[in-house]
Amino acid sequence: MAATFTTTLANGQTIEYPASITGIRAALPEESREKFDEEVGTAHARDLLLILHRWALLPTPAWDEDVEKVEALREEERQVLQARAREADPG
């Protein structure tokens, strides 16, 4: 049996995703594998765990959920910065 991690999404759904370099690579769409090989092969050892984790989640619903959260946080940040700019320069 291949090594896997398990995580629970915000909606309560539990998913498994690969926990080995070979498993992560196999789960990726074929067109992504060359970029994966290059990024993993040239990564500094201190960055490897984060890089593998990102690639492992890429083909799962967890990745989509994370992207949506990040986009929402960035939009909120933009709004706060715009409001602060208006307060600083009331015109």
Position 37 scores a pLDDT of: 97
pLDDT reading at 82 higher than 70: yes
pLDDT reading at 1 higher than 80: no
**CA angle 6–10–13, rounded 5-degree value:** 50
Instruction: Classify residue 61 by its DSSP letter.
Output: H
Give 51's contacts (C-beta < 8 A, 6+ positions apart): 39, 40, 43
